[in-house]
Structure 1
Amino acid sequence: MISIEGLSKIFHTKDQEVRAVDDLSLNIDKGEIYGVIGYSGAGKSTFIRLLNRLEDPTEGSITMDDQNLTALSKGKLRVARQEIGMIFQHFNLLWSRTVYDNISFPLEIAGVSKGDRQKRVNELIELVGLSGRGNSYPSQLSGGQKQRVGIARALANNPKVLLCDEATSALDPETTDSILDLLVDINEKLSLTIVLITHEMHVIRKICHQVAVMEQGKIVEQGDVLDVFLHPEKKVTKRFVDQVMGDPEKETSMQLIKDNYRTGEIIKLHFVGESTNQALISDISRKFELDINILHGKITQTQKGAYGTMFVQFDGEQSEIERAIEYIESTSVEVEVNPHV
C-alpha cells in the first residue's frame, strides 16, 4: 500500500544543516494501523508531512497505492491528496463553521453536489458518534468531540489512507481511549490504512499492528507491536515499553529486592498471548517444594494479544529451583534468571 525508500528531509538554517528525516525506508500494508513513535525532535511530524507532500523530500520516494507521490505535478498532487485524510493534535477546525459545515468543507472544495454532500456529512456525523451535534460550533464541543469532527472531516472524500499527527496528545486519558476505539472501529469498518505518529506507547499498544521507532530522523527499530514489546533492542525502545509496563529494574523496588531477598533465585517471567491465562504460579507451588514470593507483575493488551512480565523469588533447594525453571521453560512462558540482580 505505502512504500517509502530512502526518504530524507534536510532543512537549512543560517548556521547549520538539520537532517530532520534521514534515509528512512519502510513498508505499510493495506488496512494496517501503523504506528510511528519517537520523542520530541525525532522527526515524526516532518515524516508525516512528507507522506502527504505538505513538505517536499530532499531525497527518496513515497509510493502510495502504486503511485509515486514524489514524482507528481502540482495538479496531480492536489487530486492525489484527496485520497489522504489527516487529523491533527489541535483539531484545526474552522471556528466560524458548524460541525456540519466543517465536515462538508473538503467536499465543497472537491466540487461535490449539495445533495451528495448532505448525505455524506450525515453518514459521517453518525459514524463518529456526533448525532444531534451537526449545528454546534467548535467552541461548544469538548476536546474529544472536536477530534471526532476532525476525523469525520478527514474521511469526507473517502480516503485510502488516514494520517494521524499526535491525534490524542491534547486529550485526557479517558477521551484518548474513546478516540482510539473510534479509530479501530473505522479501520475495521472501512478497511482504512492508518498511519499514526505519537510519543505515547499506550497509543501504540492499544491500536497499532506494526510500529517503527524514530530517533534523530532514523528508524532505529520496527516490527510487530507484540514482538517489540517482548524484545525491545534499542535503549529508546525500552524506554517506551517502560511507559506501559513499568520497569522495576530501574526503580527503588529492585534495590529493595536485592537487599531483602538474598536467598534463592529471582526469576523474571514473560507471558505472551494465551500463556497470560495460565495459573503457572499455583501450578509450580503444587509440583515443587519451594517458597514462592511474587515481587512485581503487570499484564497489558496489544492488538496481537496479551503480554505480561512477573518477577518472583524461588526459595528452596537449588536442585528443586532448577527443576522448577526447567518446567517453566517447557511451557510457552519465557524465563530469565537473576535479571540484573
Structure 2
Amino acid sequence: MITLRDIYKVFQTKDGPVRAVDGIDLRINEGEIFGVIGYSGAGKSTLIRMVNMLERPTQGEVTVAGRNLSQLHEKELRKARQEIGMIFQHFNLLWSRTVRENIAFPLEIAGVKKPERDRRVDELIKLVGLAGREESYPSQLSGGQKQRVGIARALANNPKVLLCDEATSALDPKTTDAILDLLVDINEKLGLTIILITHEMHVIRKICHQVAVMEAGKVVEQGPVREVFRKPKEAMTKEFVKQITEPEETADAISHMLAESPEGKVVQLTFVGEETERPLISQLIRQFDIDVNIVQGKITKIQAGSYGTLFIALDGKPEQIEAAIAFIRSKQVEVEVISHVE
C-alpha cells in the first residue's frame, strides 16, 4: 500500500546541512495501523509529511497505492492527496466555521455539490460521535471533540490513507484512549490504512499492528508490536518499552531487593498471548526449593492479544535459582536477569 524507498531529507541551515531523515526504507500494508515512535527531533514528523509530499524528499521514492508521488507534478499531486487524509496535534480547524462547515470544507475545495456534501457530512458526524454539535464552533468544543472534527474532516474525501501526526499529544489520558478507540473503529469499518506518529508507547501498544522506532533520522528497529514488546533489541526501543513495563516504583523496589539479597536474583518475565494465563509462579514454588517474591506485574492488551510483564525476586541456593530460571524458559516465557537498575 505504502512504500518508502531510500528516503532522505536534508534541510539547509545557517549552521550547515541537517539530515532530518537518513536513508529510510519502510513498507506499510493495506489496512494496517503502523506506528512510528521517537523522541522530539528524531525525524518522525518530517517522515510523515513526506508521505503526502507536504515535504518533498531530498532523495528517494514515496509510493502510495501504486502511484509514485515523487514523480507527480503539482496538479496531479493535489488530486493524489485527496486519497491521503491528515490529522494534527493542534487540530488546525477553521475557527470561524462550525463543526459542519469545517468537515464540509475539503468537499467544497473538491467541487462536490451541496446535496452530496450535506449527506457526506451527516455520515461523518455520526461516525465520529459528534451528533448534536453540528452548529458549534471550535471554541465551544473540548479537545477531544476538536480532534473528532479533525478526523471527520480528514475522512471527507474517502481517503485510502490517514496520517496522524501526534494526534493525541495535546489530550488527557482518558480522551486519548477515546480517540484511539475511534481510530481503531475507523480502521476496522473502512479498512483504512493508518500511519500514526507518537512519542508515547501507550499509543503504540493500544492500537498499532506494526511499529518503527526512529532515532536521529534513522529507523533503528521495526516489527510487529507484539515482537518488539517481547524482544526489544535496541537501547532506544527498550527505553520506550519500559514506559509500559517498568514504572519508577518498580525500579526502586528492584534496587532495594538487589541490595537486601545479593545472593538472589531479580528477573523480568515477559508473557504473550496464552502464556499470560498459565500458573507459572505456583509451579515454581512447588517444584523448586526457593522463595519467590512478586515485585510488580501487569497484563495489558495489544492488537495481537495480551502482553504481560512480571518482576519477581528469587532467593535460595544458586543451583536451585538457575534450575528455576531454566524451567521458566522451557515454558516459552522470555526471562531477563536484572543485575542493576539504570
* TM-score, normalized by the shorter chain, greater than 0.5: yes
**What is residue 220 of structure 1 aligned with on the other side?**
220
Deviates more, 1:227-236 or 1:99-108: 227-236
- Structure 1 contact 249–340 (Cα < 8 Å) conserved: no
What's 1:301 paired with? 301
Distance across 2 between alignment mates of 1:169 and 1:14:
30
- Equivalent position of 2:328 in the other structure: 328
Determine helix, strand or coil for the equivalent of 1:336.
Answer: strand
Which sits farther off after the overlay, 152-161 or 275-284? 275-284
Shift of the alpha carbon at 1:249? 11
> What is the aligned partner in structure 1 of residue 36 from structure 2?
36
Deviates more, 1:313-322 or 1:22-31: 313-322
Name the count of aligned residue pairs: 341
The whole-number CA distance in structure 1 between the counterparts of 2:299 and 2:340 is 21
Following TM superposition, by how much is the alpha carbon of 1:268 offset from its aligned partner in structure 2, in angstroms?
A: 2.7
What is the match of residue 74 of structure 2? 74
Residue 245 of structure 1 contacts residue 299 of structure 1 at CA under 8 Å; is this kept in 2?
Answer: no
Q: What is the CA–CA distance in structure 1 between the aligned matches of 2:272 and 2:130, rounded to whole Å?
A: 38
Cα distance in 1, alignment partners of residues 51 and 231 from structure 2: 29
What is residue 52 of structure 1 aligned with on the other side? 52
CA contact (8 A) 2:298 2:309 kept: yes
Which piece of structure 1 moves more, 156-165 or 213-222? 213-222
Q: 207-216 or 324-333, which moves further after superposition? A: 324-333
Q: Distance in 2 between matches of 1:10 and 1:314?
A: 51
Tell whether the 8 Å contact from 1:266 to 1:314 is kept in structure 2 after alignment: yes
Distance 1:3 1:338, change over 3 A: closer
Larger CA deviation: 281-290 vs 203-212: 281-290
With normalisation by structure 1, the TM-score equals 0.95
Of 285-294 and 249-258, more deviation after overlay is shown by 249-258
Cα offset, 1:254, TM superposition:
2.8
Partner Cα distance (2:193, 2:233) in 1: 27
Q: In structure 2, what is the equivalent of residue 315 of structure 1?
A: 315
- Residues 165-190 of structure 1, C-alpha deviations (whole Å, 9 max, x = no match): 10000000000000000000000000
Distance 1:237 1:249 in 2: 21
2:26 corresponds to: 26
Taking only the aligned residue pairs, the percentage that are identical comes to 64
TM-score for both structures, normalised by structure 2: 0.95
Distance in 2 separating the partners of 1:274 and 1:21: 39
Cα-Cα RMSD: 1.8
| Counterpart residue number, 2:136 | 136
Opposite residue 26 of structure 2, the aligned amino acid is: L
Structure 2 gap ranges (5+):
none
Distance in 2 (alpha carbons) for counterparts of 1:248 and 1:81: 44
Find the counterpart in structure 1 of residue 272 from structure 2.
272
Q: 1:55 to 1:321 in 2, by over 3 A?
A: closer
Q: Give the match's secondary structure for 1:253.
A: helix
